[in-house]
Amino acid sequence: MDPRLLEELIDWLAIPSISTGDGDHAEIERAAAWVVERVRRAGGEAELVRIGAGNPLAVGELRCANPAAPTVLIYGHYDVQGPGPLQLWSSPPFEPEIRDGRLYARGAADDKGNFLPLLHVACAMAADGTLPVHVRVLVEGEEERAGDAVAAWIRSDQRGADAAIVFDSGMPDAATPAITVGLRGMVMLTVDVRTAERNLHSGLYGGSVLNALHVLNGLLAEVLPGPDGRVREELRAGISPPSAVELQSWRLLVPGEQAIALAGGRPVHPGAGEEYYERNGADASLDVNQIVGGEARTVVPAHAQATLSLRLAPGQDPERMRAVLAELLRAALPDGAELELSATCAAAALFDPEQPALRLAAAALARACGREPVFLRSGGSIPIVAEMAARGYPVIVSGFGLPADNLHAPDESYELHSLEWGEAAARELYVGLAALGGGA
């Protein structure tokens, strides 16, 4: 590993660029300016871009000698979560320290350490004239608080890109590099039921008036998954089944039953563990996240609220699924009850592992790590990737995070080995993606 990569990372990690409240805004500006300065030092152009009242984006460009070369957009975020209680940290969160092959600091894995190899290698190759693609740098400062400045930038950037690389993801284990080709979308829904002006006495009115918790239960019964854990067919419309390459790749992973057991969960149905990767990556799922209502005394509750998350498989349209879910709930509402729904939606994303950019990326990772990468689907959502997919960019979602990195928790850390693989992978990705040819 280039020792300067580690030095740079330690320098960047020492800036407490916290975006999740009680951070100092000056540190946000410093961490963003750090990126701009790094690109300029390598001979590129870079600036801070401000959209609305959000934290600045660091946007830059490292051009290669061949004007017809493809443009690769690299994305990361310089903001970090707050450290939480300092006494839970073995060393101060913004004084990076190496212990047992790991670098400890807030942001070490999420996302400074994961992302920096992409920037460092692009700068190093640009500075010595060996960069084979144009690299457009996009580093945001609101990922941890779900700001929308970066989405607005991606929607409005007229130049487009031939491919994008996002290192904000991980590996199933330290020996297996991975490319995440699918991300689920989501409809997050708040369901409010009102059945009376105020809570009533259960002795005087019970059995005669509507009970908001009972009504809410009735509505939920309409949309909850069956005993096999599957949601009803109406909520599964549009699902794209996994490809043969993906299915083959999933067989190399920790068996699903074991993955569930390691997390401390229990299968919803016999056999569900075996189907874990297919259920998690390529099916819809609905969970009630919270129910609030009533009091622990003799009342008939007048109001009840539930929060639901409907995760959508790639292929499903979030707006359409929001409407279907709302219609199912409305149809089950008894006369006299009032229903209010409020939703936020996020799109799913799916990249065909057989398309040129993904094939080149898989070969690049195999060269860098000495082992073929697996193709994963994540059950979670990365909204920025869906924005890039909507622009038609093939996105290589990868990175070298591991379950032991303690993201968002005390003693966050990143393996030096992951940093090394990140550096090698960045170099091979730029070399490999040059074969795409320009266009954007």
Count of residues in the chain = 440
CB 368 within 8 A of CB 425: yes
Size of interface with Zn ion, in residues (CB under 5 A): 1
Q: How far is the CB of 19 from Zn ion (least distance, A)?
A: 10
What angle do the packed helices 25-41 and 3-13 form, to 10 degrees? 160
76 vs 373 by CB, closer to Zn ion: 76
Residues 62-101, one symbol each (x = binds Zn ion by CB under 5 A, - = not), give ----------------------------------------
110 vs 142 by CB, closer to Zn ion: 110
CB 122 within 8 A of CB 28: no
Q: How far is the CB of 58 from Zn ion (least distance, A)?
A: 18
Q: How far is the CB of 407 from Zn ion (least distance, A)?
A: 6
Q: How far is the CB of 142 from Zn ion (least distance, A)?
A: 11
Residues 346-365, one symbol each (x = binds Zn ion by CB under 5 A, - = not), give --------------------
**Which residue is closest to Zn ion by CB?**
110
- How far is 75 from 143, CA to CA, in rounded Å? 11
Q: How far is the CB of 343 from Zn ion (least distance, A)?
A: 24
Cα angle vertex 36, ends 32, 41, to 5°? 145
106 vs 322 by CB, closer to Zn ion: 106
Residues 97-126, one symbol each (x = binds Zn ion by CB under 5 A, - = not), give -------------x----------------
110 vs 387 by CB, closer to Zn ion: 110
Q: How far is the CB of 144 from Zn ion (least distance, A)?
A: 5
Nearest CA to 277 out of 300, 297, 250, 258 is that of 250
Q: How far is the CB of 352 from Zn ion (least distance, A)?
A: 27
35 vs 440 by CB, closer to Zn ion: 35
- How far is 78 from 16, CA to CA, in rounded Å? 10
400 vs 430 by CB, closer to Zn ion: 400
71 vs 169 by CB, closer to Zn ion: 169
- Phi/psi for 8 (5° steps) reads -65, -40
168 vs 387 by CB, closer to Zn ion: 168
Q: Does 405 bind Zn ion (CB under 5 A)?
A: no
Q: Does 142 bind Zn ion (CB under 5 A)?
A: no
Nearest CA to 113 out of 170, 29, 43, 41 is that of 170
Q: Does 27 bind Zn ion (CB under 5 A)?
A: no
Q: How far is the CB of 81 from Zn ion (least distance, A)?
A: 6
110 vs 411 by CB, closer to Zn ion: 110
- Non-local CB neighbours of 363 within 8 Å, separated by 6+ positions: 432
Q: Does 412 bind Zn ion (CB under 5 A)?
A: no
Beta bridge partners of 180: 376, 397
Q: How far is the CB of 200 from Zn ion (least distance, A)?
A: 45
- How far is 77 from 111, CA to CA, in rounded Å? 6
Q: Does 8 bind Zn ion (CB under 5 A)?
A: no
Residues 292-321, one symbol each (x = binds Zn ion by CB under 5 A, - = not), give ------------------------------
Q: How far is the CB of 413 from Zn ion (least distance, A)?
A: 14
286 vs 397 by CB, closer to Zn ion: 397
Task: For tokens 């968002």, name the residue.
Answer: 408
391 vs 408 by CB, closer to Zn ion: 408
Q: How far is the CB of 143 from Zn ion (least distance, A)?
A: 6
Spell 383-412 as b/e; 16+ CB within 10 A means b. bbbbbbbeeebbbbbbbbbbeebbbeebbb
Residue ranges that bind Zn ion, judged by CB under 5 A = 110
